[in-house]
Amino acid sequence: MASTLITSMSQLVTCDGTDDDGLGIRPDAALIVEDERIAWIGARSAAPAADTQVDVDGRCVLPAFVDSHTHLIFAGDRSAEFTARMSGQAYDGGGIDVTVAATREASDDELRELLQLRLTRARVQGSATIEIKSGYGLDIDTEARMLRLAREVTDETTFLGAHVVPANTDRRDYLDEVTGPMLAACAPHARWVDVFCEPNSPHAFTEDESREVLQAGRAAGLDLRVHGNQLGYGPGVQLACELGAASVDHCTYLSQRDIDALADCKDQTTATFLPGVEFSTHEPYPDARRLIDAGASVALASDCNPGTCYSSAMPFMIQLAVRELKMTIAEAVLAATVGGARALRRDDIGRIAVGRRAHVAVLDAPSIEHLAYQIGMPLVSGLTP
Ligand SMILES: N=CN[C@@H](CCC(=O)O)C(=O)O
Ligand SMILES: [Zn+2]
């Protein structure tokens, strides 16, 4: 079993919750990685010998990001939709059909190649764990194909047949398909089921429809996630809490009742902010402060997708969280690491502690503040494994 000693860090940001802000920063620390796990953490001066040594030369080391919400597998181009939105057009989910048509046309190898390129771009920005949803197939074969291909690169795969009702399709017929044969074909390749619960979009799903999709997914052995409260006030948050979903994502429009519900169910449901979406759609940013101050569990993710946010850059999401969501740097970093892990119900990632996975990012900066301070800079200079 080969061991690697990582040493000469300016800061080891463990995110282990041991200090006031939760970042658990250790100066003058070293760590040893053995067999893809953290085997030892301690003072640099007390570090035992290891097979190899990596000297990070005064850089900052932190847990790799956990991007708990992406739509990384798709084909086609919707840049024109983005351009139109920047001159005032609103987002309503209608463009999803454009991606669906292109994704159905693409071969497995074409989708694999697109996915690999996007994964590389996510990794160079520090993400080691990446959830990937289907939802651009919306027929049995393409949904199952998307999930099969996504499974080749991550265990965190999510069935999102209930993304929108495809064009020229009867709602009831489509729901029967999603909760019946499509679910049966997709469940073997998925860990999660998700639904775009959004009565403010004519293309997405109502509360009752969403409940039906989630309950069917659960009966097929999948755990639950929800796209909720993205385009206006709505039932997504309440439904996620009622059904014990692991995460409700977007949370752009939250009523006091939603905030109370999320605070009450913080041990099972994480509210995931996706501020790249507000950046790319001109929706207002969510009131993260109120939710955090109420005690809810929060995560930050990229939502990388062709419609509302074509970015997998977690450092940029942290910068938006600090600048626009008024989160402290510590809150934003924790939301992008342990928060993402909680949103995926994983306790083996998101923090640097003995026994956890050695998913570690090296920042070309002397302290964690630089992650928010140096905007858009390529600071991640290394990622293990
Ligand atoms: N809101 C629903 N789904 C995606 C966007 C999908 C698209 O427009 O292609 C999201 O999370 O924002
Ligand atoms: Zn999404």
Domains and CATH numbers, the chain: 3-64+350-383 (2.30.40.10), 65-344 (3.20.20.140)
Closest CA to 254 of 282, 290, 301, 227: 290
pLDDT at 382: 83
Torsion of CA 114, 119, 121, 125, to 10 degrees: 170
Q: Is the pLDDT of residue 40 over 90?
A: yes
Q: Are strands 65-67 and 380-384 parallel, antiparallel or unpaired?
A: unpaired
pTM to 2 decimal places:
0.98
pLDDT digit string, tens, across residues 270-301: 999 999 999 999 999 999 999 999 999 999 99
- Helices 236-243 & 207-219 angle (0-180, nearest 10): 30
pLDDT bucket at 307, cuts 50 / 70 / 90: very high
Q: What is the pLDDT of residues 138-171, one digit of tens each?
A: 999 999 999 999 999 999 999 999 999 999 999 9
User: 324 C-alpha vs ligand 1 centroid, how far in Å?
Assistant: 21
Question: Based on the number of CB atoms within 10 Å of its own CB, is 172 exposed (0-12), middle (13-18) or buried (19 or more)?
Answer: exposed
Yes or no: say if 217 and 240 are a contact pair by the CB < 8 Å rule.
Answer: no
Place of tokens 């052995």: 221
The answer to whether residue 385 scores a pLDDT higher than 80 is: no
- Whether the CB of 189 sits within 6 Å of ligand 1: no
Q: What is the mean pLDDT of residues 243-264?
A: 98
Question: Closest-lying ligand to the alpha carbon of 78?
Answer: 1
pLDDT on residue 278: 98
Q: Measuring from atom 12 of ligand 1, which residue has the nearest CA?
A: 308
Residue 63 CA to residue 12 CA, distance in Å, equals 9
Q: Sorting pLDDT into bands at 50, 70 and 90, what band is 265?
A: very high
Does residue 306's CB lie within 6 angstroms of at least one atom of ligand 1?
yes
Q: Is the dihedral of CA 87, 89, 91, 93 positive or negative?
A: negative
Report how far ligand 2's centroid is from the alpha carbon of 230 (Å). 10
Ligand nearest to the CA of 305: 1
Distances (CA, A) of 14 to 164, 242, 292, 352, 382: 40, 33, 21, 5, 16
Percent of the chain residues past pLDDT 90, beyond the cut: 96
- pLDDT above 70 covers what percent of the chain? 100
- Per-residue model confidence (pLDDT) at position 384: 81
What's the 34 CA to ligand 2 centre distance in angstroms?
35
Q: How far is the CA of 227 from the centre of ligand 2 (A)?
A: 6
**Can you list the positions of beta strands (E) in 120-166?**
127-130, 132-133, 157-162
Question: Binning pLDDT at 50, 70 and 90, where does residue 324 land?
Answer: very high
Give the Cα separation of 98 and 78 in Å (integer).
8
Of the candidates 307, 290, 212, the one whose C-alpha atom is nearest the C-alpha of residue 252 is 290
